[in-house]
Amino acid sequence: MVITKAAGLHGEVCVPGDKSVSHRSVMFGSIAKGTTKISHYLQGADCLSTISCFRKMGIEIENQRDTVLVHGRGLRGLKGPDGALDCGNSGTTTRLISGILAAQNFDVVLTGDDSIQKRPMKRIMEPLTLMGARIRSLRDNGCAPLEIAGGPLRGIDYTSKVASAQVKSAILLAGLYAEGDTKVTEPFISRNHSEIMLKYFGADVRTEGTAVLLHPGSTLEGRPISVPGDISSAAYFICAGLMVPNSEIFLPSVGINPTRDGILKVCQAMGGKVTLLHEDSGCGEPTADILVQSSSLHGTVIEGALIPTLIDELPMIAAMACFADGETVIRDAAELKVKESNRLEVMVRGLTAMGAHVTETEDGMIIHGGRPLHGAEIDSHLDHRIAMTFAVAGLCADGETRIKGAECVNISYPEFYGDLKRLI
Ligand code: S3P
Residue 228 region, left (φ>0) first, then alpha (ψ -120 to 50), else beta? beta
Please identify, by atom number, the ligand 1 atom nearest to the C-alpha of residue 338: 15
pLDDT of residue 39: 97
Beta carbon of 20 within 6 Å of any ligand 1 atom? yes
Angle between helices 122-130 and 91-101 (to 10 degrees): 10
Ligand 1 probe mutation, 19, 26, 92, 316, most atoms within 8 A of CB: 92
pLDDT of residue 282: 74
pLDDT of residue 225: 97
Dist CA 14 CA 230 (whole Å): 10
Residues 6+ apart with CB under 8 A from 211: 183, 184, 185, 186
pLDDT of residue 325: 98
Q: Where are the beta strands (DSSP E) in 74-121?
A: 85-86, 107-111
Burial of 82 (0-12, 13-18, 19+ CB in 10 A): exposed
Beta carbon of 165 within 6 Å of any ligand 1 atom? yes
pLDDT of residue 66: 80
| Pick from 315, 313, 308: nearest CA to 367 | 315
Please identify, by atom number, the ligand 1 atom nearest to the C-alpha of residue 311: 9
Residues β-bridged to residue 274: 292
Ligand 1 probe mutation, 26, 166, 186, 342, most atoms within 8 A of CB: 166
pLDDT of residue 65: 87
Q: Annotate 255-283 with b (16+ C-beta within 10 A) or e (fewer).
A: bbbebbbbbbbbbebbebebeeeeeeeeb
Phi, psi for 388 (deg, rounded to 5): -70, -40
Beta carbon of 312 within 6 Å of any ligand 1 atom? yes
**Cα 253 to ligand 1 centre (Å):** 21
Beta carbon of 92 within 6 Å of any ligand 1 atom? yes
Phi, psi for 141 (deg, rounded to 5): -120, 15
Fill in the DSSP letter of residue 155: -
Catalytic residue chosen out of the listed positions 18, 312, 379, 383 = 312
Beta carbon of 104 within 6 Å of any ligand 1 atom? no
Q: Domains in the chain, please, with CATH? A: 2-16+228-423 (3.65.10.10), 19-226 (3.65.10.10)
Please identify, by atom number, the ligand 1 atom nearest to the C-alpha of residue 123: 15
Closest residue CA from atom 5 of ligand 1: 92
**Radius of gyration (Cα) for the chain, nearest Å?**
21
- Note if 312 is an active site residue: yes
pLDDT of residue 378: 98
Dist CA 168 CA 184 (whole Å): 6
Residues β-bridged to residue 159: 185
**Cα 92 to ligand 1 centre (Å):** 6
pLDDT of residue 120: 98
Q: What pTM, to 2 d.p., does this model score? A: 0.98
Ligand 1 probe mutation, 21, 191, 196, most atoms within 8 A of CB: 191
Dist CA 204 CA 123 (whole Å): 25
Beta carbon of 3 within 6 Å of any ligand 1 atom? no
Blockwise average pLDDT, block size 10, the chain, 424 residues: 98 98 98 98 98 98 95 98 98 98 98 97 98 98 97 98 98 98 98 98 98 96 97 98 98 98 98 97 92 98 98 98 98 98 98 98 97 98 98 98 98 98 97
**Cα 288 to ligand 1 centre (Å):** 22
Beta carbon of 47 within 6 Å of any ligand 1 atom? no
**Cα 308 to ligand 1 centre (Å):** 9
